[in-house]
Amino acid sequence: MKPQRGQSRWGGVALLAGLLGSAACGQPFSAAAGAGGGGSGGAGHGGAAASGTGGVAASSGSGVAKCPAASCSAGEYCESASSTCQMCAELGRFQFGAPVATGVTVPATGSSALYPRPDRDTGQLFFVQQDTTIAHQDQIAVAASMPGEAAWTQGTLLQQLVGVYQDSGPLYISAPSVLTGLVANSVAMSTAPVLLFDSNRTTGKRQVFAAVLGAATPPAVVTLPGGAVRASRIAISLAATPPRFWWISDATTGIERLVTGTATDNTPGDVPVLLDSDCPTTLADAPWVTPGGERLLFASVHTSAPPACTPDPTITHLYQVVLSPDGTAPTKASPVFPGDTNLDTDPALTTDMCALLFARFDDQGNGQIYQAPRN
């Protein structure tokens, strides 16, 4: 059943904790219309303009040109507070303008488009199609950005993964060696890029898999620290030393929560997150982390203020929070779009760090991919 506005994706907090990662019935998360987060798939890719002001190239230097009268160059955005062009790679100011729908079209008419994650190498966008069947099957699709266009276009199913599975959380990895020690050497030593995703392909478990793109071999299990029965929603900071992973796991406790670890860790570490309500989140879902591990984007249900800290599964937001080098969140998270009542989830930055991508549901429970520029 696809969710209606105000419904929980899983029908309640307890069920939410037990079923996260299955992605079997839609993903309602409300967000808001204001500030918070950024990134982009490069100039000309992804429906997001190359700059935060419309993508019109300008000869001005960063922090010098006034905007939007003189639009910013690729890799820059117009900072609304100072009306100057700033580098998108700088994360000190981390907020966004109003979201707009992208041009991504799902392969099956009427299906939802969820979990957008861009590919830095080609400008493609990997995402999840949730179809309209009773099972609401989740399948991974890819949309290309045509040369000279400023939007992703028609999506097609990734044929090497097509099957009667619930696949979700696609994450493109151009250098699979980051997975050394976690996956078969044939995958970690591949010269071709790899797509990570989570799936129910193993009976009785939900696991993260790695598929060598374009290969005929079946996906390989990624053995993350902790030996969880349910592991899903993987994120990586590739530029961190060593690279660090975040994912949703039920390791040790049997309760799904956000954890972090490196390829050499034996057990994952919990990542508790305090929301703006001064209460801990019940689950920091759908994590995405900036390449250097500086900030975490996630989706969470809202909670009331202390001392009750009561989770309300009908009110959810996109959040962002600063991370420590050990992958934990020492400060409070901030809502990306404060006060908004839309149902938003699955945040990620585009590869140039100039825009936020996410999935938004309408009143009928249909999901579509949106983007919001840095401002």
> Each residue of 286-318: pLDDT tens digit?
999 999 999 999 999 888 899 999 998 877 789
What does each of the 375 residues of the chain score in pLDDT, given as a tens digit? 344 333 333 333 333 333 333 333 444 332 333 333 332 233 333 333 333 333 333 333 444 557 765 578 989 999 988 889 999 999 999 999 999 999 899 999 999 999 999 998 888 999 999 998 878 899 999 998 755 555 688 899 999 999 999 999 999 999 999 999 999 999 999 999 999 999 999 999 999 999 999 999 999 999 999 989 999 999 999 999 999 999 999 999 999 999 999 999 999 999 999 999 999 999 999 999 999 999 999 999 888 899 999 998 877 789 999 999 999 999 999 999 988 878 889 999 999 999 999 999 888 889 999 999 999
Tokens of 266: 């034996």
266 and 286 Cβ atoms separated by less than 8 Å: no
13-52+88-361 folds as: Neuraminidase (2.120.10)
pTM of the model: 0.83
The per-residue pLDDT for 342 is 83
Give Cα 58 to chain centroid, integer Å.
Answer: 30
What does DSSP assign to residue 225? T
302 and 317 Cβ atoms separated by less than 8 Å: yes
What is the residue-wise DSSP string for 115-182?
EEEE-TTT--EEEEEE-SSTT--EEEEEEEE-TT-SSEEEEEE-GGG-SSS-EEEEEEES-GGGGBTT
Which residue do the tokens 């190239």 mark? 57
Taking the C-alpha atoms of residue 281 and residue 292, their distance in angstroms, rounded to an integer, is 24
Which residues share a beta bridge with 231? 249
Name 308's Cβ contacts closer than 8 Å, sequence gap at least 6. Answer: none
Which residue do the tokens 């290309």 mark? 144
The per-residue pLDDT for 147 is 57
Query: Residue type for 179, please?
Result: L
Task: Tell me how far CA of residue 375 lies from CA of 41, 46, 81, 96, 114, in angstroms.
Answer: 17, 18, 8, 5, 24
The per-residue pLDDT for 69 is 56
The per-residue pLDDT for 85 is 93
C-alpha atoms less than 13 angstroms from C-alpha of 271 in its C-beta half-sphere: 32
Per-residue pLDDT tens digits for 217-270: 999 999 999 989 999 999 999 999 999 999 999 999 999 999 999 999 999 999
